[in-house]
Chains A and B, each alone.
Chain A
Amino acid sequence: MRRSLLGLVVVLALLALFDVFGQSPSTTSAAAAAATLHVDSPGAVRGGLLYQVRFTVEAHQDLKSATLVLDTGWLDGLTVNTIEPSPVNEASRNGKLALDLGHVPAGEKYVLFLDYQVNPTTVGTRTQTVALDDGETRILSIDHDLTVFP
């Protein structure tokens, strides 16, 4: 009985070593004719943890007003410590956070860093959808899941 319980602790530690409980980032990508978007973000985190999300926009065509539209899953129960570089403009677009990155010329890359801390009371799995628009025109979107362990 005691060995079985000890085995359970071993399993938990092994699962943690294989990153089941966070917080190593993984990359999710989506491509369209106009641009490619990479999202580097952990799939699992724990209450209180500091972590970083990186959005990389690779413009294949001239993007006059590249805009990242983040749904509430990117903000609910999370504290955004900083956004670098600061977007040209921030606005709410139908309840979602729209970050206007400005002009991204064809062939260039734009990297946006968001530094987070998980609010300790936040628990559960949420879908985080991010869309890349050029002005009001949707180019692509990515769905990403984040699990917050208690």
Chain B
Amino acid sequence: MDIVLRAALAFGFIFFLTRVVGRRELSSLEPFDLIMLIVLGDLVQQGVTQSDYSVTGLVLAAGTIALMQVGVSYVNFRFKPLRSVLEGEPIVLIEDGRVLERNVRRERLTRQELEEQARLNQIVSLDDVRWAVLETSGQISFIPKQ
């Protein structure tokens, strides 16, 4: 019984963490992030399975996490008001070439990072951007001025 509850709790906590750390941190995987990901995985495993070395434990823990994932995506799909809580909402960063400082600061983005992302999208200057939107996936989409 306990392994199902621990797996569910771990899922809930990791989900909560991903919501509070910010989407930009999650969209890029720097070497440090990769190491932290492995460390986090190890910590979660210890908390969920503890001394359990069994295949049964693996099936129960993995199954519970899969069910939680399906549950969250179903709630996300079925209940619109909860969508912004579970997934967040796209955030406008640039409007008609003007950087919206409040939104950019809230997402801990620098102007240099915005410019770098713009260059990766073949955009020379932020003045040429009609819309830049930080999507819920953590990616920034750019819509250039015509």
Contacts and interface: CB of A to CB of B under 8 A. Distances in A.
Q: Do A and B bind each other?
A: yes
Given A21-B60, A46-B57, A13 B52 contact: no
Interface string A26-54: 00000000000000000000111110000
Contacts, number: 58
Interface string A94-117: 000000000000000000000001
A88 interface: no
A49 B63 contact: no
Contacts of B70: 6
A46 B63 CA distance: 16
B59 A46 contact: no
B112 interface: no
B51 A50 contact: yes
Nearest to B53: A48
Greatest chain B CB density within 10 A among A13, A24, A49, A50 is at: A13
Interface string A1-36: 000001001101100111101011000000000000
Contacts of B4: 13, 16-17
Nearest to B55: A150
Contacts of B53: 46-48, 120
A149 B54 contact: yes
A13 B1 contact: no
Nearest to B8: A13
B43 interface: no
A10 B57 contact: no
A24 B1 contact: yes
Contacts of B57: 46-48
Contact of B63 (A13, A19, A117): A13
Given A49-B52, A149-B56, 19 more contacts: A9-B66, A9-B67, A12-B60, A13-B4, A13-B67, A16-B1, A16-B60, A21-B3, A24-B1, A46-B54, A46-B56, A47-B53, A48-B54, A49-B54, A50-B51, A120-B54, A149-B55, A150-B55, A150-B56
22 contacts: A9-B63, A10-B67, A12-B59, A12-B60, A16-B1, A16-B60, A17-B4, A17-B5, A18-B1, A19-B1, A21-B60, A46-B52, A46-B53, A46-B54, A46-B57, A47-B53, A47-B54, A48-B52, A48-B57, A50-B50, A117-B51, A149-B55
